[in-house]
Amino acid sequence: MKPAQPLSCLVALAALAAVGSAGALPDKSARLSLLTPCIDVLGRFTGPAVPGFGESETPVDPPTWKSYPEIASLPLPGRGSAQHPMLYIGEGCNTMFLVKDGKVIWTYSTGKGWEYDDAWLLSNGNILFSRMAYAAEVTPEKRVVWRFDAPQGTEIHTVQPLGLDRVMLVENGLPPRVLVVNIRTGTVETSHALPAQSLTDKGTVHGQFRRMRVTATGTYLAPFLTMNRVVEYDRDFNEVWSYAIQSPWAAIRLHNGNTLITDERDELTREVNPKGETVWEFRLSELPPGIVFHGSQSCARLANGNTVLCSRGDGGKGCQLIEITPDKKVVSAMYDWTRFGPATAVQILDDPGIPENPGELQR
């Protein structure tokens, strides 16, 4: 299986080469802008046009977690929340955070209930997210421009932009369904049922899917959380690849063609090649003394080869984020329960790629 080359990254790199051949290369900020468009839109999230609390927001209850002094006082590597600009979400904390230079520059609250599992800052500045009961897209000014409510008896945990006009989402249900929705017209362009453990067991709905993805080649990569396998389907939903693993919370098709999987039950992140061979694995038991980290859910593979792991954090009993190198050195860890809740997922905004182009962010 050959990985597709991300088109817009190639275009951006070609543009850099063209500028270089004509004269001096653009400065660092200009080069970064070509490759990381989300950095450019961060300015839209501050200023007089952005309300502190928008009309579409709903207040949230006070947090139920606390900061443990004996953990907070431990020395941690890196710069914590200032390590990267990021979009930050967590189940159990019904507020999204945009973070730059370690400062929270924007929040969006959606009230009581469960749970954030997926969120994207798009190149046009809007944020697309799933909220279990619905998926929505909101502007920096906190105006909802699209919303899709989960039908009764279903849940939405997965949402992914396909360009700026279409969205892929999964309805956990009996049966679960993968949908592609045109958000401009409201048309459901694709609707396909996926396997479920039992069509009569209501308990299977919540645990079916957390993170499904359309890959750069247009296939569907589906981690079956309670059926203990990751399955890849072609465009016609024929199974073309599978891998057995306990409790796959998330699966990412990397640029090298390998698949990076987060196993929630066994607390590990494993990279496997198309043959199903393990080429890299990190278990939370390998963390050095002094770094407390539990229950990883999603992860992000960065362009420099490092991997960012996200954690529920056990209500303040552990770090929310860690970043590790390919040789398993921890270069950054974040413990900040005074401002943030659990970290179900983050989007690292200084990493190359256009979010709405499937596969470019390797996630």
By C-alpha distance, which of 208, 213, 101 is closest to 168?
213
Domain residue ranges in the chain: 7-348
Whether the bond between 277 and the residue before it is cis, its omega within 30 degrees of 0, is no
Residues 42-70: what's their mean pLDDT?
A: 91
Residue 36 pLDDT level (bands cut at 50, 70, 90): confident
Edge to edge, the sheet with strand 134-138 lists 118-121, 127-130, 134-138, 144-149
CA 150 – CA 172 distance, rounded (Å): 9
The per-residue pLDDT for 63 is 75
Question: What local confidence, expressed as pLDDT, does residue 243 receive?
Answer: 98
For the domain spanning 7-348, the CATH number is: 2.120.10.30
* pTM for the structure as a whole: 0.89
- Comparing CA positions, the residue from 358, 252, 251, 354 lying closest to residue 37 is 354
Amino acid making up residue 213: R
| Percentage of residues in the chain having pLDDT higher than 90 | 75
Instruction: Give 326-354 pLDDT, tens digit per residue.
Output: 999 999 999 999 999 999 999 999 998 99
Residues 58-81 pLDDT 10s: 998 777 788 899 889 999 999 999
